[in-house]
Chains A and B, each alone.
Chain A
Amino acid sequence: MQIYQQKAEILRTEKFTGDIYRFSLKAPDIAAEARPGQFVMVRTGEGMDPLLRRPFSVHQVAEGGLVQILFKIVGRGTQLLSRMQSGKYLDVLGPLGQGFTNGENNQHFLVGGGIGIAPLLFLAKQLLKRNEPSAIKVLLGARTEDEIGILAEDFGSMGLEVLSATEDGSLGQKGLVTDLLVPINETRATVYGCGPYPMLRVVAGICHTKGWGCQVSLETIMACGLAACLGCTVLRSDLKGYVHVCKDGPVFNADEVAWL
């Protein structure tokens, strides 16, 4: 697989509620190659502090060689990034890692928690090429409406059914996104999950019980994204060794990794 290091112009920045930003970057080589679930590594500034690139899943690719990333301010790196203006250039490396694979089952559930929703828009677009909109459902969860309101609309405009859950009840059902998954009765389905580890652990458990396919996108601290530093390890399900999120993932079959 070809990996590119590009100086990508920021064509557009959007600020949403809940400290969430969406950047549209001109990165034609990466846009042409990227698959849903893959990620890019972005330098957040010119200097040496913060030192490391930050990983972001590809939120969407669009005509004209556009790559979009969606991020929330969680630390200094994302803080610096959020202050970047359109017209500036970002050093972007990608596309990296293994993305989602199309499940064989006829029902697809996209389950996202908080900023973990980012890669699911790209995935939904790809699934729509081979499936009717009625075969795809989107389940979104967050603390408050602020964090997912705009994204719920994006999925809705694609003609997909969106179910939401918020911890404060400001959008959809009051509770967790996993509460939305439990009552669903399908014999054959594939779940694509992305979000915080505790959420994914519950998603994996539900899928295991129901006998559904389950792919999860994991997040870890990462230095290179190229399988060189071997820092982004996750314990294998056999507990006998490790997989690397950057190379073996970030998308894994839920039964490949240990749920501790």
Chain B
Amino acid sequence: MAVELPDLKINIGALRLNNPVMTASGTFGYGKEFASLVNLHRLGAIIVKGISLLPRPGNPPPRLAETACGMLNAIGLENVGLEKFLSDKLPFLLGIDTPLIVNILGDTLEDYQQLAARLDEEEKVAALEVNISCPNVKHGGVAFGTDPDMAYNVTKGVRQHFSRPVIVKLSPNVTDIVMIAGAVEEAGADAVSLINTVLGMAIDIEFCRPKLANIFGGLSGPAIKPIALRMVWQVADAVAIPVIGIGGISTPEDAVEFMLAGASAVQVGTANFINPKATEEIIQGLETYLTEKNMASVQELIGRARRT
């Protein structure tokens, strides 16, 4: 008798995924960039580069610095803007039989609401991921993601203008991520994804100046995995909505760890830069792991480390 393959299907609220492996926003372009390297149809979901209402040129160079087991970036949210996304990028994605999640960002509450309303009209957009790490220009540049009240308001605003699942992406650069997670859950988020990059910097000792033109940048890669795992554990403990784990996930073993900590799904980010096939290899590796452990479904992993 043939051995049954384990079931990788997972639900994030009303969002049904064939497997729990997604691409993290900003590390996979608009999908097409990886088309000759990855079977895009195989992915759990594709999350595209964050979109703002208007195009953004991004920060001056240098925007990157490599660090031990990680990298710093200060891209500055460069993106083509909503209209060009709809006209130039979306058509390719329509042909990909994988749920599309659009990451949105804005300077004001109204920006987020307009983005949500317009993207609600596009059926292909299965869910939104709300990036609340950018500064709110109307509130003196305080990031939406560092204040529970503002995080609540943005989530609620998007929720009211978008009929399908809303995921809120949380920043680790806060005193208490659990409090922010609780606020967005209360505002009606269907899921939270965490963590975004960790604020850091590097200095060039030859030229005696910061390596990034922006001085500070976001640290990503394997270096931040233990921080991310700890925060996923804490948030999964505190909220009832699904948690999506992000932070240095590069191998199937990393993905398993996040799910054991309580994540219902994972996003692969910086690993896409080093190994463009990382997402597919993680999906394959998850299947192998479950088979070896005699588990029928990937859902058996979720939070399992918390129960022992």
Contacts and interface: CB of A to CB of B under 8 A. Distances in A.
Nearest to B63: A231
Interface in B255-280: 270, 272-277
Residue among A3, A4, A48, A220 having the largest count of chain B Cβ atoms under 10 Å: A48
A221 interface: yes
B57 A3 contact: no
Interface residues of B, number: 35
Interface stretch (B26-34, B102-110, B166-174, B293-301): B26-34
B99 to A, nearest CB: 19
B58 A223 contact: no
B70 A51 contact: yes
A155 interface: no
Contacts of A233: 58, 60-61, 63, 78
Contact of B71 (A52, A93, A240): A52
A77 to B, nearest CB: 9
A230 B58 contact: yes
B274 A221 contact: no
B201 to A, nearest CB: 15
B26 A48 contact: no
B57 A242 contact: yes
A221 B65 contact: yes
B87 interface: no
B29 A228 contact: yes
Contacts of A18: none
B69 interface: yes
B34 A48 contact: no
A135 interface: no
A4 B34 CA distance: 10
A170 interface: no
A52 B273 contact: yes
B273 A228 contact: yes
B197 interface: no
Given A5-B276, A52-B66, A93-B276, A231 B222 contact: no
A52 B60 contact: no
Nearest to A223: B273
Given A93-B276, A226-B29, A228-B29, A235 B221 contact: no
Contacts of B57: 240-242
A234 B61 contact: yes
Nearest to A229: B273
B73 interface: yes
A226 B64 contact: no
B290 to A, nearest CB: 25
Interface residues of A, number: 32
Given A5-B37, A228-B273, A234-B61, A48 B221 contact: yes
Contact of B58 (A50, A51, A242): A242
A226 B34 contact: yes
Given A5-B37, A51-B66, A229 B75 contact: yes
B62 interface: yes
A35 interface: no
A231 B29 contact: no
Given A52-B66, A231-B64, A226 B276 contact: yes
A2 B29 contact: no
Nearest to A245: B61
Nearest to B79: A230
A51 B33 contact: no
Interface string B71-87: 10101001000000000
B64 A50 contact: no
Contacts of B275: 5, 91
A233 B76 CA distance: 12
B34 A228 contact: yes
A221 B37 contact: no
A234 B59 CA distance: 11
A3 B64 contact: no
